[in-house]
Every structure is written in structure tokens, then in C-alpha cells.
Amino acid sequence: MRSRYSAFVLGLSEYIWKTWHESTRPDLEILGGLGLKWIDLKIVDSQAGNTGDNHGTVHFIASFVSGNKGRTLDEVSDFIKEDGLWYYVDGESSTADISRNDSCPCGSGIKFKRCCLR
């Protein structure tokens, strides 16, 4: 999950596409989230499958800026392990606004409007 987040931050669309399971993988040209300013990732929980089980989940909250608005993405992602590698399958997600006067999600301790929203 962390490597996929880093790929979104860096705009590495091919890496995101290659780590997406082929059963749900979108066309490379329509990957979303690449033009956003990603500012924070918190892993809330992760569950790897038991021995012999190739399924896992990751619950994360990612913060980003889109235009002049801050948002959080709260998602529980499903992954599958094939040939020793984990692939993103899909997830249940919701988004919420970040108030301009909230502490910045990056951890600076500064109000969002004076930090990453700039």
C-alpha cells in the first residue's frame, strides 16, 4: 500500500497499473488521482491472510489537495497475492472535506490553510 501511495505522489502511473490486479485493472489512460497533491497517508489497519490464504486488506486514510480544497480518502482496500506479489483488487471508500482551519494532515501543527493548502 505504501508503495502505491508513493507512486500516486510521484505520478508513476505504470507502477500503479502494474500493481493493480488484472481482474479489475482499468485502462492505463484513465487512472485517477495522479493530478492531485497527496500530503499524508495513515495506515489504520491491515490484515494479511492466514498461511495459505492469498487475500488481505488495508484500511488507510490519505489526505490530498484538489484545486483549492483539501480532502481525505478513507478506504478499506482488498489485495490478492499472486506469485509472491500483492495486487490491489478494489476497495470501499468515502471522502470528506478538510476544513481550512483544521490542523494540517501533514503533521506540521500549522492550520491547513497556512500549510499544504497554499
Report the topology of domain 2-114. Nuclear Transport Factor 2; Chain: A, (3.10.450)
Secondary structure E strands in 1-118: 37-48, 55-66, 69-82, 85-98
In this prediction, residue 35 has a pLDDT band, given cuts at 50, 70 and 90, of confident
Query: Averaged over 5-13, what is the pLDDT?
Result: 93
Q: Contact at 8 Å (CB) between 20 and 31?
A: no
pLDDT of residue 103: 95
Q: Are strands 37-48 and 55-66 parallel, antiparallel or unpaired?
A: antiparallel
What is the identity of the amino acid at 55?
Answer: H
pTM listed for this prediction: 0.89
Q: Which three cell numbers stand for residue 56?
A: 488481505
41-94 per-position pLDDT tens digit: 999 999 987 666 899 999 999 999 998 999 999 999 999 999 989 999 999 999
Closest CA to 24 of 69, 89, 77, 76: 89
Q: How many CB atoms lie within 10 A of CB 70?
A: 24
Instruction: Specify the pLDDT at position 31.
Output: 82
